[in-house]
Amino acid sequence: MLSQLNIAPTLAEFFDVPLTAQARPVEQILKFAYSHKPSVVLLMVIDSLDFPFYTEFAADLRAIHELVERDGLLFVCETVNSPTTPAIGSILTGLRPESHGIFTNEDVGKSKIKSVLEILEDAGHKTALVLETGGARPLLGKVSYVFGVDDREDIVEYDELIKRHTISVLKKHDVRLVFSHIRAIDRFAHRGWDLHAAARVTAENMRAIAKAISTRNGLLVICGDHETHFKDKKQRILPATVPLIVCSP
């Protein structure tokens, strides 16, 4: 089974930049990427999208399932951590949290470990980040295009802004790798709200983003960060599994 640790080294291998990771590149993904020759890659993390949620809410997530059905790849991927920040740290570095040391937004600016975004920047490739303001701010000056969205109670509005910024930066023809993160499913799960509604909102946002990727002949990589954080579920079996989707819309 693949791990979230496989993502960063796979991207680094595709872009031909050096990265020290605790997992190997995924040859199947590399072959897919090389065959499509994308002008840009978008790595989209969908908060709380675990594999059981992906299958149980398939009807509501139809737009995402269609990406797999239209010549995409789908992997069952093992998580490395439950909270979002260390999980994203692992996705972007290929290292376990105890190795990258990123557990809070403050750690992002202090860590000596570079993400795959920063490594591409060092190699002369422009990258972009679309994230909650607290996590985005420490990467100002390290990543070419940084879009921070302030956290808010209206998470649907928040994801709408993330989507708009993501589509906007994909129009910049010098950007090679974009990282983005949407959160509606996680917030709805934490609050005990209608998860079907959250799944539909997420799917429609991804439909629009996939369309923007298509206009750039881009590669879209979608991954969950951790298990779905249900309001009333206290005991969690870790590690969990999340979908890892690779497609060229």
**Packing angle, helices 184-191 and 155-170, rounded to 10:** 170
Q: Report which of residues 82 and 71 the model is more confident about.
A: 71
Tell me the pLDDT band of 172, cut-offs 50, 70 and 90: very high
Sign of CA dihedral 125, 42, 32, 208: negative
pLDDT for the residue 57: 98
**Tens digit of each residue's pLDDT (9 = 90 or more) over 123-152:** 999 999 999 999 999 999 999 999 999 999
- Mean pLDDT confidence for 29-54: 97
pLDDT for the residue 130: 98
Domain ranges of the chain: 2-15+25-191+204-247
Token pair, residue 50, equals: 């675990």
In a 10 Å sphere around its CB, with 0-12 CB exposed, 13-18 middle and 19+ buried, how is residue 70 labelled? exposed
Res 108 pLDDT > 80: no
Tell me the pLDDT band of 209, cut-offs 50, 70 and 90: very high
- Mean pLDDT confidence for 94-100: 88
CATH code for residues 2-15+25-191+204-247 = 3.40.720.10
What's the chain's length in residues?
Answer: 249
Q: What is the distance between the alpha carbons of residues 67 and 56, in angstroms, rounded to a whole number?
A: 17
What are the φ/ψ torsions at residue 16 (nearest 5 degrees)?
60, 50
